[in-house]
Each structure stands twice: as C-alpha cells, then as structure tokens.
Amino acid sequence: MTDLTDTDIANLRAFRRELHRYPEVSGEEERTAWRIRVMLSGHDPDRVISGLGGHGLAAVYQGRAPGPTVMFRCELDALPIQEREGIDHVSQRPGVAHLCGHDGHMAIVAGLARLFYRQPPARGRVVLLFQPAEETGAGAAAVLADPKFAEIAPDYAFALHNRPGLPLGHVALAPGPVACASRGMKITLRGTEAHASDPATGLSPMAALARLMPDLCGLGHGGLEDADFALVTVTHARLGQPAFGVAPGEALLMATLRTRLDDRMAALCEVAEIRVRAVAGAEGLGVEIGWCDIFPHAENAPEAVEILRRSVSALGMTHGEEGCPMRASEDFGRFGARAKTAMLFLGAGQRHPALHNPDFDFPDALIAPGVRLFHHVARGLLG
C-alpha cells in the first residue's frame, strides 16, 4: 500500500495554509474551488465533475474491475468571523476565516488524491467530493439535487471533522446520531418609529425584544444523552437604527434552535413560534418569522461505522464513543439518504481553541493520520 512521504506531508501542510490565507464564505467558494482544481490537475483523476451544487467539485479515480463507489467528502467554505492575529498564515480577507478546520479537511482529501494517483483502486471507484456551503446547511442538499450527482451515486460515504477537546489524533466514532439537528429562526418585529423626544407617539418593539431573548433561550433543556434535548441560542439582535433622534419601530432577532433528533425539532419550532407570536401580539406589533440554515440530524450507519472501526484499529489509533453525538450540526447527514454513511471526529487537542473561535487553527499534525485512515478504508473496500 502506498503511503505519504515526508515531502507529501510538507506539501499538504503548505497547501492547507494557502487555503487558510484565502477563505471564502458559503456559496462564494469560486477561488477555493479553482485552487482545488489546480491541485487535482497534478494528480490525474479519471474525471473531475465541477459546478456541483454550486462551486462543488468531485474527482473520480476508477478501478479496473467492477465494485462499489466509495466517497470521501470535505468542505470548501469558511466563516464570516474576523480571525485573531498571531499566525504566519492568517486570513488575508477581513471578516472571513477558516475557523472550523475545513482547510484541514480539504488538505486530507487532497492527500488521498496523491495516493490514488500513484495507485488507483483495484476495483470500483473512489470519489473525492469537495462540497460547498456546509456552514449554512445548503451545500449537501444542493449537491444531492444536482443532476450531475447521479454520475457519482456512492454506495458508501465517509467524512471527518476535527474536534477540539479530544486528545490529539484520538478518534471518536459511534453508530446512530452523530450531529444534532438545527435551524435558524429569523424574527422581525414591526411597530412605528417616533421622535426620540416623544416616543409615546410611536410603537417600539424594545420590550418585546427584551422579553423574547430570555424566553426563547428558556425553551432549552436536557443534555445530549436525553432524546428530548433542546437548545436555543440567540445569535443576533438589532433594535432600530443607530441614531439618537429616533425611537425604534423595528427589531430583528435571530436564534438557532437545536435538538438531538429531527422529530424533536418540529415540536421545538412550534413552541418557539407560538411564544414569539404571543409576545408580539401582547405588544401590538406585527411579526414575521422565517426559517433558514436547516440541518437535519446526522446519523451514522452501523455498517459504515464498523468499516471505519476496523481501519482505526488496524492503524493503532486510540478511539472510543465519547464525544458522540456532537451538539453542532453537519449537513453530511443528508448523504445518508443515498449511501451508507459515517462521520468520525479526529481529536484536535484537549486544550485546543474551540471551533468558530477567533483563535482556532486546524492542527497540521492531523493531516497525515487523516489521509492514512481514509486511504486504509478505501483499500479495504476496493483493494
């Protein structure tokens, strides 16, 4: 079995850092996809499918004999967060940064391209999917809806996510729910502006906004071990305009609702909506409610988990089920409707900055073990 050389690892580390310097948010990953395409041109896939669900692309390595199609998926997009200075490869795009580790996930899948270029699978196909727009929950759905996805049609699909809080290189893996369902609730409260000297002539949403923030957060309860787990997080609030002479007539409130399972999400959304309309009605306000960034919960198929476990054990990697499921959401779960899927978590270090924190940076030390693990999985299925 081929393996990464020291030069490979150094090149993948440099590639990861280049991706980190030039991040793009969900749906705008055109230059990131171009960088991936340039990288793939040096590793001669049998086919590259581009424009997949937006800026996504897939590289296909074909075996000589018939066999299953095995897909490895990573994400192209970054986050609309300002990165904290302090690393040589800091983001060159103000307000945008790879603070979830998607740059590292891309480097791992890029490493697979190197290995399958040197030794294609004996049978079946390997598909390396670089998916757009994971952070908004739109990317996987768009890829699946794209007619070109029928040309891939994987039998198995695998993904990983780095996980701060777990020991470096430790694997967390379990069947069943692996990432929570979530969706964004966008609430617009409408009253009437007034002169700041005479606010009684208008209708301010201030009191309703102040009530709704703690009320919605109060709908959360339980821990992840509880199937009835719910969490509501206020993510944004705005009241009126930044002016001293105007009493506000409009407010915007955004919150993320989170549950372990999809069934619980429908009930949580209903309760949240009833609460919002009741508070708005009591204040005489108009209200609009919208839903966005919808993630179903992700479920690991037992057969796919067992395939991963065999490779993890064969490579001598420490592993367990602690850390599963995670409270965060992942749209990789959508591929479970078309293939046997499993996602694992690869420890980024017990004291590593958390995902989406401004000082997060993907640990380069995870690139080589990530590549070796997925390569071992593919060779076990395809030879």
Q: How far apart are CA 31 and CA 57, in angstroms?
A: 12
Using one digit for the tens of pLDDT, what is the confidence trace for 261-282? 999 999 999 999 999 999 999 9
Q: How far apart are CA 364 and CA 18, in angstroms?
A: 13
Residue-wise over 262-284: b if at least 16 C-beta within 10 A, else e? eebbeebbeebeebbeebbeebe
pLDDT of residue 224: 87
Average pLDDT over all residues of the chain: 97
DSSP assignment letter at 202 = S
Residue range(s) of every CATH 3.40.630.10 domain in the chain: 6-178+298-382
pLDDT of residue 93: 97
Using one digit for the tens of pLDDT, what is the confidence trace for 207-252? 999 999 999 999 998 888 888 999 999 999 999 999 999 999 999 9
Q: How far apart are CA 228 and CA 258, in angstroms?
A: 11
Structure tokens at 242: 């930044």
Structure tokens at 149: 């996805």
Q: How far apart are CA 59 and CA 129, in angstroms?
A: 7
Using one digit for the tens of pLDDT, what is the confidence trace for 22-57? 999 999 999 999 999 999 999 999 999 999 999 999
Structure tokens at 230: 């719910």
Judge: domain 181-295, CATH 3.40.50.1260: no
pTM: predicted TM-score of the whole model, two decimal places: 0.95
CA angle 103, 379, 320 (to 5 degrees): 65
Beta bridge partners of 336: none
Amino acid at 232: V
Structure tokens at 78: 């970054």
Using one digit for the tens of pLDDT, what is the confidence trace for 6-15? 999 999 999 9
Q: How far apart are CA 335 and CA 139, in angstroms?
A: 11
Q: How far apart are CA 71 and CA 49, in angstroms?
A: 13
Residue range(s) of every CATH 3.30.70.360 domain in the chain: 181-295
Nearest C-alpha neighbor of 236 from the set 157, 292, 174:
292
Q: How far apart are CA 86 and CA 84, in angstroms?
A: 7
Asked if residues 295 and 329 have their Cβ atoms less than 8 Å apart, the reply is yes
Strands, sheet with 181-190, edge to edge from the N-terminal-most edge strand: 230-239, 250-259, 181-190, 286-295
Nearest C-alpha neighbor of 376 from the set 184, 151, 115:
115
Beta bridge partners of 287: 189
Q: How many residues does the chain have?
A: 383
Nearest C-alpha neighbor of 58 from the set 80, 38, 40:
40
Q: How far apart are CA 101 and CA 291, in angstroms?
A: 26
Binned at pLDDT 50, 70 and 90, residue 78 comes out as very high
The pLDDT of residue 139 is above 80: yes
CA angle 71, 76, 77 (to 5 degrees): 140
The pLDDT of residue 253 is above 90: yes
DSSP string, 82-138: PPPS-STT--SSTT-B--SSHHHHHHHHHHHHHHHHHS--SEEEEEEEEES-TTTT-
| Residues 6-178+298-382, CATH architecture | 3-Layer(aba) Sandwich (3.40)
Lowest mean pLDDT among 46-55, 108-117, 215-224, 336-345: 215-224
Average of per-residue pLDDT across 134-153: 97
For a pLDDT cut of 70, what percent of the chain falls above it?
Answer: 100
Asked if residues 257 and 296 have their Cβ atoms less than 8 Å apart, the reply is no
Binned at pLDDT 50, 70 and 90, residue 2 comes out as confident
Binned at pLDDT 50, 70 and 90, residue 1 comes out as low
Q: Is the dihedral of CA 351, 168, 300, 323 positive or negative?
A: negative
Structure tokens at 46: 């049998």
